[in-house]
Structures are given as structure tokens and as C-alpha cells.
Chains A and B, each alone.
Chain A
Amino acid sequence: MTVAVSILPEQQLAVLNAAYRQAVARKRLRLLLGLVIFAAALFLAAIGAEVNLRTFFAHFGNFISYFDRILTLDSGQRVWTDAGEWLWGWRKWLKMLGETLLISYVGTLIGATLAFALNFFAAENTSPSPWLRFVVRRLLEFARTVPGIVFALIFVIAFGLGPMAGVLAIAIHTTGALGKLFSEIVENADMKPVEGIRSTGASWLSCMRFAIVPQVTAGYASYALLRFEINVREASVMGFVGAGGIGQELVVAIRKFYYSDVSAILLTIIITVFIIDITTGWLRGRLFGKEART
């Protein structure tokens, strides 16, 4: 069987080929231009950030030897040969870790509650009035953009040293972050139940309570758990500015060159973060099925 392959006449083909080549060339040119701009930006940034490759390579040995040092005990042995000596402060550290977890738990819960209260005003489909939405949105944006640790620095001065400042800082940051995510869930909610409930003469509050909340709780809980995970990490450094938790011990160990303590505390932090990650992941899977996990 013969197959007839239709071939365009030479003239037409030449035109099409030329157009194709031109299109490819234009695309390549644009890519090249983008790369040049990007390289220039990187070069400027390298100057701005005082990148000095010579010091980097001269001191890169320090990076390796730093890990060598934090993995060595005072006696000169490797840390894992004498676990008792390495983890000598485990009682104190576990207590501080407990404080860190508690800080992130309380902060997340307060923040999530505030976000829950505010997000209906920030969502486009449920907000009672446009100006209120504008105000709440700007408020949430502010709480989210200012880093938690900056709030912590200010709160340490206002509320005194200690975990209270850390909790409040995490709570505010969580309100901002979750408020946005929550309101996005609400914006995706089905509005027909709201219409149904409104048609019975219910108030705005009842509409939210009986039409929106049942649709969105699963999403809320999933995001709140995710936030808890992130907050555990954040709470581990709150101690750097005096706002409680294990960070306080860590910064002291790093600044005073208690090398083996640094690795021991880092190990406890990493293990804790692992456990929290796995537990919340499992919990989210259990509560909301596989599709909610992403």
C-alpha cells in the first residue's frame, strides 16, 4: 500500500519555514535577553552582598571543620562514642523543647482563632461591607509581612523577657498567614447554602454558622496543622531574641563555642521537627483523606 504524503509546493514551504525560523529566533533572543538581565542582577547582588569568593574558599575549610568540632567532645572523642557525655543536659533541653512546643501550640491556637474570627470579613463573598474588607485585609497583610521575630523583638521590650513575647509574636504572624488562607477557602465555598439560609430570614451570623462553616472546617483544620508545623520551627529560634524556648540554649551554645552542645541541641531540634512533621502529616491524612494532604 502506498501512502500519499502531500508535500507543499516549494514556494509555500519556503515562506512557512522562514516564519518558523523567525519565531524560533525571536524566542531564543527573548530567552537570551532574560538570561543577560538575570546575570546582571546576580552580578549587582553579588556586589551588594559583599560576596567574596576568596574568603569563601579560604574559610570553606572552617565550615567542614565546624561540623568536625561540634561532633567532637571535650575529651577529643567523637560524640556518639559517649552518648551520656554528649547529651548531658537532656533533661534541661527536653524541658526547653517542651516550652518551644507549648509556645507554638498556644501561639497557633490563638492565631487560628483570631484568623477564624476575621477571615469572613476578608473574604469577597461573605464580607458585610467593602470598607470593612479593605481594613481587615490590610491588617492581615501587615501581620503577615512583618516577620514574627521582629514582633518578638518589640514584644520582649513591651512584655518583658520570656515565652509570653514569643507566643504573642507567633500568634500575630499566624493570624496574618491563616487569615489569608482561610478567606481563600471561604471564597471557594459554595454560596447556594448561604442563599438557602438567607431566604429563611436568618442573620449574617447564622448564614456563616450554618452555611459556610460546615463547608470549610476541614480545610481550616488542615491549614492550621500545617501552620503548627511551621511555627514549631519558628519557635525554635524565638529564644535568639529572648522570647523563650530552646533557641535560648542554642544561641548561648553557639556564641560561647560549646561545640558538642551545639550538635546535641540541633539533634534534638531536628528530631522534634521530624516527629511533628510526621505526626501532623499522619493526622491530616487521617482527618481529611488523601486529597486534603497537599
Chain B
Amino acid sequence: MTRPQEVDTRELRARYPDVFDRPASARLAMPAMIVAAFAILVYGLVDLDFSPSRFFAGLSQLGWISLMMIPPDPGSSLPVYLKALGETLSIALLGTTLAAVFALPVSLLAARNVIPSQILRFPIRRFLDSIRGVDTLIWALVWINVVGLGPFAGVLAIAVSDFGAFGKLFSEAIEGADQKQVEGVRASGGSALHEIRFGLLPQVLPVIAGQVLYFIESNTRSATIIGIVGAGGIGLQLAEQIRVLEWQRVSFLILMILVAVAAIDFISSKLRFAIIGRRAVA
């Protein structure tokens, strides 16, 4: 057996010059990007007042705090906390449902295959984007100004900010739908509304239901925090206990949130599979 290696390399080198002698720009691109990313990181750390002494002082402080969190103890306010948790779950459920109900008609208007006119779709899409660009907490503050402190403001905050997200997701689901059914309904003489009702909705409803369930799940998480600005739910209790440094109660509240979110996760994934069958939500 001969040794083909040397011959092969030379021939390969000649045949694929790009692979063996990559231009300097291509070879330097990756390291340059890493150096740039790192440089911005260092600049950021300096600009944001990171100092090792402060970091380690804070870390030891954090150690003390976690020690004081053990064991988690609700004190005498367990009923209050349970009520707050119920409030949080209510906020998530109602907020998501309201958002979905209002987003469905709007998402039809934002879908390319329902409204072909770019001029009409563009402002609706930008409108949805702007709503989405504002964080839920900011919406909560706005609604507190309107309906006052309390969970109702939280419901409205979640409803508005999810309206933006749903509008986009639903319209994408509608655009992904098969047009053949719609054409079939049109061929049999159906009106535009019939096309949507019998051609489009049966296709997209399972997808939409999956997304709504997923959002109820993730909104349980968001609903736990809007109380921090005063919009009801368990976040209100949590923020208060952190401010008065009742660490055992804080850890108890965090545990409650973890358990509640895990339970909702479990239930909604079961429901999701029941509705859409065992396939991934698009």
C-alpha cells in the first residue's frame, strides 16, 4: 500500500484553496467579534459601578440573607398569602382570556391572507408592536392610575400587554393556515365570513388554544410580580416582606410561587396535549 497522504494534501490544497488558506479577514472575524464582545462587557462593568469589593461584600450579605431565610415560615399570615396566591391565579386567567378574546378579531385584520392590503395591515401591526414593546409592569402603573390600586388593575395590565403578543402570534398562525379549505368554501359560494368561520378557524383554533394555555402558564409568572407596583396578587406581599426584611416569610412566598407555577405548568401541559394531540405547539 502506498502512502497517499502527501499527494492528497497537495491536490486538495490546490483544489480547495478557501479551506486551507482562508483569507485573513475570515480567520480574524471570529476572534475579533469575541474581543469586541468582551471589550463592551468590560466597559459595561466599569460604567455600571461593578467593583470586586462591592461584589464580594454584597455576596456575603446575600449569604446572610439566605441563612436567615431558613426555615421558610409564613408566620401567622398564611391565609393572607393563600388569598394573594388565589388573586394572582385569577389575574393570570382573566387577563389572558380577555387578551385572547380581543386579539382574535384584530389578528384577522393583521393576517396577510385575510387582509391583502398592505396599507391596512401595516398600522395594525405597528400598533400591536408598540403595545408589546411596553413592559407589563408599565401597563400596570398606567392602569393603577385609571382604576386604582388592586388586582383589577393587574388583570387589565396583563390583558393589554398580552393583547399585543397574541395579536402577533395569532396572525402568524392564521398566515400559516392552509388556503385550500378557504378556497373550497369560496367555491361553494360562501361569503367572506363563511370563509373565516368554516375554512380558517377550524385550522387555527387548536394552535391558538395551545398558545393561550401556554400564556396562562407564563402569565402566572408575570402576575406574581405586578403586585410589586401595587396591582394586586402575591407580588404585593412579597415586595412588602422584602422591604421589612422578614426573610423567612420571603422564602415561604417564593416557595409558594414555585409550587403554584409548577402546578399550573403540569395542568396546562396536560390540557394542551388533550386539545392539540401530541405534537409541538408551533
Contacts and interface: CB of A to CB of B under 8 A. Distances in A.
Nearest to A236: B135
Nearest to A245: B48
28 contacts: A41-B93, A47-B90, A49-B91, A49-B151, A49-B232, A50-B87, A51-B94, A55-B148, A59-B148, A60-B146, A99-B47, A105-B41, A142-B258, A145-B262, A146-B258, A147-B225, A149-B225, A153-B228, A154-B250, A155-B62, A158-B61, A159-B54, A159-B57, A234-B135, A236-B135, A236-B138, A240-B137, A244-B48
Interface in B53-93: 54-55, 57-59, 61-62, 65, 86-87, 89-91, 93
A236 B224 CA distance: 18
Given A55-B147, A147-B225, A159-B58, A154 B65 contact: yes
A12 B45 CA distance: 80
B145 interface: yes
A45 B90 contact: yes
Interface residues of B, number: 63
B276 interface: no
Contacts of B94: 42, 45-46, 49, 51
A201 B45 CA distance: 41
Interface stretch (A188-196, A202-210, A265-273): A265-273
B142 interface: yes
Contacts of A241: 228, 239
B130 A270 contact: yes
Given A41-B93, A49-B232, A150-B238, A160 B133 contact: no
In the complex, the 9 A-B pairs of residues with the closest C-beta atoms, listed nearest first: A48-B90, A159-B58, A45-B90, A273-B133, A49-B90, A106-B44, A49-B151, A158-B61, A163-B48
> Counting chain A CB atoms within 10 Å of each CB, which of B90, B91, B129, B229 scores highest?
B90
B170 interface: no
B58 A164 contact: yes
A160 B58 contact: yes
Contacts of A62: 145-147
A167 interface: yes
Interface in A103-125: 103, 105-106, 109
A145 B257 CA distance: 8
B117 to A, nearest CB: 23
Interface in A127-168: 142, 145-147, 149-150, 153-155, 157-160, 162-164, 167
A149 B228 contact: yes
A164 B90 contact: no
Interface in B248-271: 250, 254, 257-258, 261-262
Given A48-B86, A49-B151, A157-B242, A266 B134 contact: yes
The dominant DSSP class at the B interface is helix
B228 to A, nearest CB: 6
A158 B58 contact: yes
B171 interface: no
B58 A162 contact: no
A240 B136 CA distance: 12
A44 interface: yes
B97 interface: yes
Nearest to A156: B242
A146 B254 CA distance: 7
Interface string A236-270: 11001100100000110010000000000010011
A80 interface: no
B215 interface: no
A interface, size bucket: 35 or more
B256 to A, nearest CB: 11
A294 B189 CA distance: 37
Interface in A169-196: none
> Counting chain B CB atoms within 10 Å of each CB, which of A41, A49, A157 scores highest?
A49
Nearest to B172: A294
> Counting chain B CB atoms within 10 Å of each CB, which of A51, A163, A236 scores highest?
A51
Nearest to B271: A34
B154 interface: yes
B56 to A, nearest CB: 10
Contacts of B57: 159
Contacts of B130: 270
Interface string A47-85: 111111001100110110010000000000000000000
Contact of A45 (B65, B89, B134, B235): B89
Nearest to A253: B141
Given A55-B147, A146-B258, A45 B239 contact: no
Given A63-B146, A66-B145, A160-B58, A50 B151 contact: yes
Given A102-B44, A145-B261, A147-B222, A55 B138 contact: no
A167 B137 CA distance: 18
B281 interface: no
